[in-house]
Amino acid sequence: MTVQPSRPTFGLDDFGLDDRMRLFGYVTAENRFAYLWLLRAFDSARSSYHVVLHTADVAAALAALHEANADCPDPAHVELPRLLDALVDWGVLDRGQDGSRATTLAEYRNRHSVYQFTEAGYRAHRAVEAVLSASMDDSTLSRLVFADLLADLNALASANEAGDAEEVYRKFNRLDRALADIAERAARFYHMLGDLGRTNDVRPEAFLAHKDALLAHLRDFHDELQRYTPRLRAAVHEVEATGLDRLIEAAAEADERLFHTPVQRLDDWRRRWAGLRSWLAPPGPEQLSEADRLSDATIAAIGDVLALLRRVTEARRGGVSRESQLRHLAAWFTHTGTQEAAHALFDVVFGLGAPRHVGVAHPDPEAIASRLSWWEAPAVELSRTLVATGRAPGQGRGRPARLDRVDDRRHRLRGDQLARERRLADAATALAAEGVDDHRLDGSQTQVLLRLLDIALAARVGGRAVVPLAAAAHGVRLTLTPTPGRFTTVRTAEGRLHLDGYALTVTAAQHTAVRRPELVSA
């Protein structure tokens, strides 16, 4: 990377690259907030026309800021001389001596130090403040500026034709600032739209509440841009028809920048006109102007907003957004105990596994030269059954395999099933007798409760139910009554179960009898 040397400025701006970078050293220093408030004290005094401050004046200004802002440090608890010396070393402040404050001979010999902003230091501080106070409030596209651009171009043509150099300078400079403001606002606005589409923290309610205003803003700006683009192009040609060289010379003649040579001023204004022309009227008919690119970007932004609207509405219609699904999946991956469990979860979720390797010989091996590589040889057709299952088509068909009947294993499994059902029946009876509010459910009672909840909630149609839901099993009946604004909490052995908006009751079923399964011999 090569750094272009700065233009000669008669020795008044001899800051090197390293010196300019050191101006921002206080931003990353250990006491960066103390340095920031100290410079704010200088800036506050400067706004009151007090440029040169003594250490006592700095302490007074900092104390005034401390009274108005709780974040500002108390000057009694900071070492002002050390902070001021560091800012002087970085080049942000300039230190001088003031002997007029001395009241004794010793003070006169010591002389009091006074401080003020250096020009580069003041600009560095204002740049930091601009970054800290930046907001998205001004990230809008101004559609009213096009009428002002057209009026200024017409006035510029009249002033150039009349030979009024000062009016040419004023209108030309105003046009340059207006185009720079349009470009900066457009960059911020489209960057804001990009962040809106990429961020995961956008609230659907806020977006849906402002989507109409956002789309209307983009549509109005695009309509004004389309309406004024041909008129602005024609106005640029009218200005050039009055004499482009004459225009540049008039603007450079009225330019009051002292430390620019006449040649530099001419080159600068010629560059500005070239930028203005590229924005509004490029020289070639096939070249797109920056206004045309801005129009295309506006159309693309409208499409992006509509795509974001579609994603938000689809997420709200489904009840669970894609963002929520991914967050829960990430939590599952985080809480997996072993790496093998994480791999298993990955295979289940994404359906990915190890590749299947198959080998098939070509029907006519002699038709392919042995010197050809795999990349050059023709491909071999593979059967879908072979790729999916690893078996050739037709393989495995014929007589079915003999079915082995293991009676003792079947008897044991049947006994386990009946014992489990009997345990759940006992748990259901105890659950109906004791209720769910006053005691802690054991594992069997929790299993019965979850089974009943699964049956009851499956009967809902389209979101939250508005009528009571009921389910019966194991001789008990569970009833869910909608009660908006109420939480029902059930204590279980594994934790607490919360039901939002439902009242839960478990009673013995009147129309069914509890049938206790018994073990039977196979």
Q: Mean pLDDT in the chain? A: 77
**What is the mean pLDDT of the segment spanning 452-468?**
71
Nearest alpha carbon to residue 451 among 460, 443, 462, 461:
443
Q: Confirm if 465 and 480 have CB atoms less than 8 A apart.
A: yes
Nearest alpha carbon to residue 19 among 132, 118, 97:
118
pLDDT, residue 396, reads: 55
Q: Confirm if 117 and 93 have CB atoms less than 8 A apart.
A: yes
Helix segments in 255-337, DSSP class H:
262-280, 290-318, 322-334
- Looking at 64-68, 109-113, 234-238, 421-425, which range is the least confident one? 109-113
Q: Is the pLDDT of residue 34 over 80?
A: yes
Percent residues over pLDDT 70 in the chain: 77
Bridge partners (DSSP) of residue 502 are: 482
Q: Is the pLDDT of residue 162 over 70?
A: yes
Rounded to whole angstroms, what are the CA distances from 304 to 25, 191, 324, 362?
Answer: 40, 12, 22, 50
Q: Is the pLDDT of residue 36 over 50?
A: yes
Give 427's contacts (C-beta < 8 A, 6+ positions apart). Answer: 442, 444, 445, 447, 448, 474
Rounded to whole angstroms, what are the CA distances from 252 to 68, 110, 173, 301, 476?
Answer: 47, 51, 11, 39, 95
Write out pLDDT tens, residues 239-258. 888 888 888 888 888 888 87
pLDDT, residue 513, reads: 44
Bridge partners (DSSP) of residue 495 are: 492
**What is the mean pLDDT of the segment spanning 343-372?**
76
Residue 512 CA to residue 425 CA, distance in Å, equals 13
Q: Does the pTM of the predicted model rise above 0.85?
A: no
For the four alpha carbons of 273, 277, 283 and 289, in that order, the dihedral sign comes to positive
Q: Is the pLDDT of residue 387 over 60?
A: yes
Which two three-digit tokens encode residue 278? 């590229």
Q: How far is CA 482 from the centre of its chain?
A: 39
Who wins on pLDDT, 131 or 234? 234
Nearest alpha carbon to residue 473 among 432, 418, 417:
432
Rounded to whole angstroms, what are the CA distances from 124 to 15, 62, 93, 131, 285?
Answer: 13, 20, 11, 11, 43
First and final C-alpha spacing in the chain:
88
Q: Confirm if 84 and 55 have CB atoms less than 8 A apart.
A: yes
pLDDT, residue 355, reads: 67
Q: Confirm if 143 and 229 have CB atoms less than 8 A apart.
A: no
For β-strands 476-492 and 93-98, DSSP reports them as: unpaired
pLDDT, residue 110, reads: 45
Rounded to whole angstroms, what are the CA distances from 346 to 341, 343, 352, 356?
Answer: 9, 5, 8, 18
**What is the mean pLDDT of the segment spanning 470-490?**
81
**What is the mean pLDDT of the segment spanning 185-193?**
72
Residue 277 CA to residue 279 CA, distance in Å, equals 5
pLDDT, residue 370, reads: 77
Q: Is the pLDDT of residue 472 over 60?
A: yes
Write out pLDDT tens, residues 302-353. 777 777 766 666 665 555 566 677 888 888 888 888 888 888 888 888 876 6
